[in-house]
Amino acid sequence: MNSNIILPGFEDALVTKMEEVEERLCVYVEMPVTAHKCPVCATFTYKIHDYRIQKIKHLKLFERHTLIFYKRRRYACPCGKKFAEKNPFVKRYQRTIPT
């Protein structure tokens, strides 16, 4: 889906879907595929292991509570380590957007 709205902090992300569910605005985002460096052996990999959905609470948009559903990609390194991609909007274990 092409969208002309830019959410603050989500300039690099791809908005795939927006919908209103029970007076909440749900926004589905994902990052583009890029090579990531393994935290153990420092080699770059494109091999995707799996995807996980991370639910993130965001500030109100258009006077509605907003939830971001981030399709987080996990990579697999040839050394056997599996790790999550780097993203600019949430840190590890974080569930809300910092203000």
Per-residue pLDDT of 46-65, as tens digits, reads 999 999 998 988 877 777 88
pTM: 0.79
Pairing of strands 24-30, 36-37: unpaired
Distance from chain centroid for Cα 8: 14
User: What is the SS3 string spanning 47-61?
Assistant: CEEEEEEEEEEEEEE
Distance between CA 10 and CA 4 in Å, rounded? 13
User: pLDDT for 1-45, tens place per residue?
Assistant: 455 666 667 778 888 888 888 888 888 999 999 999 999 999 999
Give the burial class of 36: count Cβ atoms within 10 A of its Cβ; 0-12 exposed, 13-18 middle, 19 or more buried: buried
